[in-house]
Amino acid sequence: MSYNKPELQTNIRTDIQLLQYPRYQDFVKASKEDIINLIDGNKQFKRKYARNLDYYIGKNTTINKRPNLDPDNPDSRIGVSYSRTFVQIIKGYMYKPGLVTYTSEDQAYLDRLLDIFEKNLEPLKTSELGENQCKYGLGVELLYTSKEDNETIPRFSSVSPEECIFIFNMEIEAKLIGAIRYYLIEQKDAAKTYRVEVYFKDRVEVYTLEESNNNKTLTFNEDYPNFFGDVPFAFYANNQEYHADYEPLQPLMDAYDVMCSDAINELNRFASAYLILKEYIFSNPNDANEKANELSKLKTRRVLEFMSGEGGAEFLTKDIPSEFFEVIKRTIREDIEYHSHIPDFRSKSFEAKSGVAMEWSLFDFENLCSDKQA
């Protein structure tokens, strides 16, 4: 079995990469060494999918990893969840239960298909699949069977692409010829135990992978026939690059996070501004404790009394360039919307529009959705 290791391509920035799954001439057997090498080679995909998930749940990576250069200054880290907004808009527009329908000239076949879909809660599974496609750049369904009243029922379930490795052949239009699914089942300190399932067209091999301090031990458990006669995964790539809908926009979202965080930091600095007292006379200016108690009372009572006509109080502040912040934020928001091809449906541009005008407003968005439907 020969493994053609793809070269890593990078054309957006150093941490947004174009990756390729491995390609083999054939995939009819795999040694333990082959399996471990494939799992090791999949780490870049796992990092990519984990990063996408972080952005989806609002833990935007760049702003959260920004170093705090001055612990005494405000350090807000606001991750604006544009990613979640994009996914929810597309999911509701394309994958809402009831939107996807099925037809066939063979009514008996269609009835049987719809019966299987009903047993599998197909509308919900399709919605979950579409969400993963938008979120990770890849949606994956695993096919399996179960027994009900001595009847074998085809089943399918959406699984995370983080735990899957897909293997293609060397043809121009590459076909799926194998897969590995591995996922964590136990962790004790630095020691991790994974279940590893290797899918061939005629069988499935199951292993246990124990990993500790970069040492890996793979133990064979069992194998069983693959009754589907093919690799039992349905594979829905969002695009040829396996990019999530928001993945190429992460640098713009990082910039927006910085603007929002720095604006809040400026407000916090303003709230913590120094109070300047002019000609204010303390009862006992030489007693530090007495001065501290008196200042505490001033904060509580919010009353100042000056003994001198020259006295006064003011805060030491700096002007906050609010207009500058708003212009930059608005520009970044518009760029995010333009390059994502996903409109802001709250915008006034969607108010009281004719049908033709609405079609033009949704033109880019419809093109994006057409690629997913294809």
Q: Can you tell me which residue has the tokens 């990613």?
A: 83
pLDDT for the residue 274: 61
pLDDT, position 8:
40
Distance CA 173, CA 179 (A): 17
Q: Can you spell out the DSSP letters for 125-193?
A: HHHHHHHHHHHHSEEEEEEEEEEETTEEEEEEEEE-GGGEEEEE-SSSS--EEEEEEEEEEEEETTEEE
Task: Give the three-state DSSP class for 50.
Answer: helix
**3 state DSSP class of 308:** coil
Query: Which residue shows structure tokens 């529009």?
Result: 353
| CA 208/CA 222 separation, integer angstroms | 10
Q: What is the dihedral of CA 32, 38, 40, 44, to 10 degrees?
A: -170
- Distance (Å, rounded) from C-alpha 30 to C-alpha 176? 16
Closest CA to 46 of 183, 188, 169: 183
CB of 118 closer than 8 Å to CB of 226: no
Per-residue pLDDT of the chain (374 residues; tens, 9 = 90+): 544 444 444 333 445 567 889 999 999 999 999 999 999 999 989 999 999 998 888 888 888 888 777 776 777 788 888 888 888 888 888 888 878 888 999 999 999 999 999 999 999 999 899 899 999 999 999 999 988 888 888 999 999 999 999 999 999 999 999 999 999 999 988 899 999 999 999 999 999 999 988 889 999 999 999 989 999 999 888 888 888 888 888 888 888 888 888 777 777 766 656 666 666 666 666 677 777 777 676 666 556 566 656 666 666 566 666 676 777 777 777 777 766 677 776 666 666 566 666 666 676 777 777 777 76
